[in-house]
Amino acid sequence: MLFKSISMENNSTPRLDDIDLRLLRLLQHNSNLTVKELGAKVNLSATPVFERVKKLEKNGFIKKYAAILNAEKLNKGLVVFCNVTLKEHTRTIGRQFVKDIMALKEVVECYNISGDYDFLLKIMVYDMKEYQNFVLDHLGSIKNIGSAHSTFVMGEIKHDYAVPI
Amino acid sequence: MLFKSISMENNSTPRLDDIDLRLLRLLQHNSNLTVKELGAKVNLSATPVFERVKKLEKNGFIKKYAAILNAEKLNKGLVVFCNVTLKEHTRTIGRQFVKDIMALKEVVECYNISGDYDFLLKIMVYDMKEYQNFVLDHLGSIKNIGSAHSTFVMGEIKHDYAVPI
DNA sequence: CAAATAAAAGAATTTTATTCTTTAATAAAA
DNA sequence: TTTTATTAAAGAATAAAATTCTTTTATTTG
C-alpha cells in the first residue's frame, strides 16, 4: 500500500507500556534527570528514552515542566482553603465569578465542587493579616458570593505534585 | 582582614532582588527555558542567570523540578477532597494516621487543618467505583478515623502549580 | 519462513550547561 | 572625592547534554 487515506490515520493516543509509565513516574519527581540517567533506570539507551519522552509530551501526557518553589521561603506560607457559594447559579454569573477568580493571584487553585458549597479555593498568602486583606479587598469585592468559609492549613503532611500512577 | 571568624559568616539566606523573582516566576511556569532564553527575558547574559538559578536552588527557594502530568489522560481524572476527623488526638494516634496516609498513593495531598475536621485529603482516582474501593479498602482500614466527608471535584477552574510571587 | 515494521543502539552533530577569565559596576575605606 | 575591595556581569572556552541520523536488532505479519 502506497498511501494511507486520512481515515486510516490513527488519531487515538497510543497505549502506554510499562517503560513509559516508569519514565513518567521518574520525571514527575525529578524532571532534570538526563535521558542517559533515565535510560540507566529503565534499561534503555539515551535514544529510545528521548523518543519516548518526546512522544509523551506530544501526546499530552506531560503538560509542562515546572520548578516547584518553597512557599515558606517566599513568604507565602499561609495556605487557606476557602469554600464559597454563589447567590445565584446562572451561567453568566458563574462565568463572571470564574473570570474574577482567575484575576486573583493569591488564588492558586479553584474547583467547582459538589456538596454544600459551589467552589473550593486554595489561597496562598504570607500571614493572617494578609489573608484578612485578601478577603476584605479582593474576595469581598467579587459580586454574587453568597457565603465563604475559610479553613486554615496548620501543617502540610503530604504534597506529591504528582499523579498517582 | 585576612580571616573571617565562623561567627561572622552570614548564614541567613540573601534577599532576592527583582531579577531573582522574575526568574522564579518564569521557571515555575516553564523550567525548560534555557539560561540564554531566561537571560533574554531579564536582560542578562547566560552566566549571571546560571549563577542566580544555582544560588536559588542552593538556598532552597527552588525545591525541585518536575514534569506536570495530565491526570485525565492517565486515568486519574476524578479528584476528591476528603475531610476526616480522628477519634482521639494524641500524638501517637496522629503519628500513626500520618504514617498510614503516607502509604496511600491515591492521597496526593494531606493537610492538618483548622475547623470541624482534622485533616483534608486530596485524592486522585479513575472514577467513582475506584473511589468507593479506595474508601472501603484503604481509608476504611485506617484506625482511629472518626468521620470522613467527601467533596467531589466537578470541574477544575484554575490550577497554577505555582506560588503567587 | 520471509518480508515488513517497529524499536533500540551507536555514532555524529548541535545545542546547552558549566567553568574560567576578564571587565565593569558598586560599595567601603582612606 | 580618590583609591581600594568586593561584587556582579560578560565573553570565551570547555564539558555535558540533547538531538539527529544511520545501522542493527527484535517483532510482527502475511
CB contact under 8 A, A69 and B29: no
Which residues pair with residue B107 across a beta bridge? B123
Q: A149 to chain B nearest CA, in Å? A: 10
Using the structure, give the distance in angstroms from the CA atom of A126 to the C1' atom of D2, rounded to a whole number. 46
Please name the residue of chain B whose CA is at the shortest distance from the CA of residue A123: B164
Using the structure, give the distance in angstroms from the CA atom of A4 to the C1' atom of C3, rounded to a whole number. 20
Domains of chain A (ranges; CATH) run 16-68 (1.10.10.10), 78-152 (3.30.70.920)
Backbone angle region of B161, left / alpha / beta, with phi > 0 → left and psi within -120 to 50 → alpha: left
Q: Quick check: A3 pLDDT over 60?
A: no
Using the structure, give the distance in angstroms from the CA atom of B47 to the C1' atom of C19, rounded to a whole number. 10
Question: What gap in Å lies between CA A85 and CA A30, rounded to an integer?
Answer: 38
Instruction: Report residue A1's pLDDT band, with 50, 70 and 90 as the boundaries.
Output: very low
Question: What gap in Å lies between CA B125 and CA B76, rounded to an integer?
Answer: 5
Question: What gap in Å lies between CA A120 and CA A110, rounded to an integer?
Answer: 6
Task: Check residue B47 and give its pLDDT.
Answer: 97
- Interfacial A residues in 41-100 facing B (CB < 8 Å): 59-71, 73-74, 76, 79, 81, 98
pLDDT tens column, A72-113 = 999 999 999 999 999 999 999 999 999 999 999 999 999 999
CB contact under 8 A, A113 and B68: no
Task: Check residue B13 and give its pLDDT.
Answer: 73
Coil, helix or strand for B66? Answer: strand
Q: Of residues B68 and A10, which shows the higher confidence score?
A: B68
CB pairs under 8 A between A and B: 211
Which chain A residues are closer than 8 Å to B124 by Cβ?
A: 163-164
Q: Is the CB of A132 under 7 A from strand D?
A: no
Q: Which three cell numbers stand for residue B64?
A: 525541585
| Strand C nucleotides where any atom sits below 7 Å of a protein CB | 5, 7-11, 15-20
Q: Which nucleotide is nearest to A51 (CA to C1')?
A: D19
Using the structure, give the distance in angstroms from the CA atom of B48 to the C1' atom of C24, rounded to a whole number. 14
Task: Check residue A14 and give its pLDDT.
Answer: 76
Q: Quick check: A8 pLDDT over 80?
A: no
Whether the predicted model's global pTM rises above the 0.85 cut: yes
Instruction: Report residue A12's pLDDT band, with 50, 70 and 90 as the boundaries.
Output: low
Question: What gap in Å lies between CA B98 and CA B121, rounded to an integer?
Answer: 11
Q: A111 to chain B nearest CA, in Å? A: 5
Task: Check residue B12 and give its pLDDT.
Answer: 58
Query: Which among B30, B120, B164 has CB closest to A124?
Result: B164
Q: What is the pLDDT along chain B (165 residues), one digit of tens a residue?
A: 333 333 333 345 778 999 999 999 999 999 999 999 999 999 999 999 999 999 999 999 999 999 999 999 999 999 999 999 999 999 999 999 999 999 999 999 999 999 999 999 999 999 999 999 999 999 999 999 999 999 999 999 999 999 999
pLDDT tens column, B72-110 = 999 999 999 999 999 999 999 999 999 999 999 999 999
Question: What gap in Å lies between CA A151 and CA A143, rounded to an integer?
Answer: 21
Number of C-beta neighbours around residue B111 at 10 A:
22
Q: How many residues are there in chain A?
A: 165
Q: Is the CB of B46 under 7 A from strand D?
A: yes
